[in-house]
Amino acid sequence: MQDMTMVQEGSMRDLAIQSSKNFKKSWIDLGRVLYSIWRDKTYKEWGYQNFDTYVTKEVGIRKATSLKLLKSYYFLEKEEPLYVDKEYADNADAAKIPSYEAVDVLRQAKDKNINHEDYQSLKEKVFLKGKDSKEVRKDLTLFMREREELDPEEAWQKRKQTNIKRFVGTLKSLKREMEDSKILPAQIAKEVNSLIAKLEDQL
C-alpha cells in the first residue's frame, strides 16, 4: 500500500511539473501562431479589418498583451532562435522557462544597445534562472544608470534626442489638428514646417 502511495505521489509530482511546463511555454506557441496570422494578414480572410480587432474579439486578449507577445516571439525567433525550438521547451526545467514579460525586457535591453557583458547577464537570468520581469527590469535599469554615470555626454545626447523627437511629434500632431479644422493660416503652417525641419536636422 505504501509503495502504491509513493507511485501516486510521484506521478502527481511529475504531472504538476509537466502541467507547469505546458502552461509556461504556451505563450511561445500562442506567439508563434499570432505572429503568423499578423504577418500573413490571415485575419482579413475571417472578416476583420485589422489585427487588433481580431485579437480582442476572437482570441480575447488585449491589444497591449498581443503586442508584447508578438514582439517577444519575434525577438526570440530573430535573436535567440534556440528558445523557440520545441525541443528546448520540452527539455527545459519548468521553473526556468521564461515568461513573455521577461523576454520583452530582454528585447528592450537589446534595443538599448547595452554592452555585451550586461546583455549576457540579463540573458542568463531570463533563460537559465527563470527570473521574473520585475527583477530583470530592475537589473536593466541599474545597467543603464551605471552607463549614464560612466558616459554622461552620451546620456545627455540621448535625452536631447528623445526630447526633440517628442517635441517634433507634438508639433506635427497639433499642426494636423489645426489644418483639419482649418484654423491654421498658410503662413504659420509654413513656419511650423520650417521649424519641424530644423528640429529634425538635429536628430
pLDDT in tens, 143-175: 888 776 656 666 677 778 888 888 888 888 888
The pLDDT value recorded for residue 1 is 46
Kindly report the backbone phi and psi dihedral angles of residue 39, in degrees, each rounded to the nearest multiple of 5, phi listed first: -65, -45
pTM of the model: 0.62
Q: Write out the three cell numbers for 18.
A: 509537466
Residue 33: exposed, middle, or buried by beta-carbon count in 10 A (0-12, 13-18, 19+)? middle
Cβ proximity of 77 and 84 under 8 Å: yes
pLDDT at 6: 47
What local confidence, expressed as pLDDT, does residue 9 receive? 56
Q: What's residue 203's pLDDT?
A: 74
Mean pLDDT by 10-residue block, N- to C-terminus, for the chain (203 residues)? Answer: 50 84 85 93 94 94 92 91 80 82 91 83 89 90 75 70 85 81 78 85 78
> CA–CA distance from 182 to each of 48, 169, 170, 178 (Å)?
34, 20, 18, 6
